[in-house]
Amino acid sequence: MTQQCSTFVQTSVQAGLVAISLLFGTMLANADVKVVSIRRAFDQADLVLVVQVYDKENLIDSDTECGVRYYGKILSRLKGEYATKAKFIFGRYPGLTPGFKYLLFLKYVAEPDQEFERIAAENPQLGKPSIAEREKVLELIRCKGTVPGYTFDSTVAWRIDQKSIRVSGIRPIELMDQEIPYSSNEPLEWEVQTDQLFSYLRKLGLSQHRRR
């Protein structure tokens, strides 16, 4: 990672920081424990799926790692429509391991500018890049065809272990408010029964459908 960062910083501080954000889903300056809303993640997602990941591919553009492409099979759909369950390709953050199944909240990114503006809005300290810097970042966002395509929210990407999901490193509002039952033996470690979390998500889906 150090070599990768230095390569970017030599070219542009702004482009380098954006590249880090692309790879890790957040800026390093925002490394504090996050308070997140499962409801908000559900509302903002185009797809909420249980996916069995069976392969992944680390993507490199111009000698720089720009993301990960995953190959999986959809096991269950909790929100949205997708044409086939045979093969599901998505990106872009590291952290998912082939052989395991995950609950994922995914957004379809149609244009690289869409992702660029999201990063800029979340990280105003970056300032405004030059036209040349912006073009370099947009190419990294495209990342060998990752955009256009589905990208999962790395903050709320959880591995499913048999009948439970372990949530760690964040503070989910719905668990703190006890909207969803959980057990916890350590700070920032939450264990939720899969069927209870899925029931909550399905209720969100019904509520969202009624609002339309």
CA distance 83 to 29: 39
CA angle (46, 31, 67) in 5-degree steps: 50
- The per-residue pLDDT for range 73-94, each reduced to its tens digit, is 999 999 998 776 678 999 988 9
- The per-residue pLDDT for range 163-210, each reduced to its tens digit, is 899 888 888 899 888 889 889 888 788 899 999 999 999 999 887 665
CA–CA distances in Å: residue 144 to residues 48, 108, 110, 183: 24, 16, 14, 41
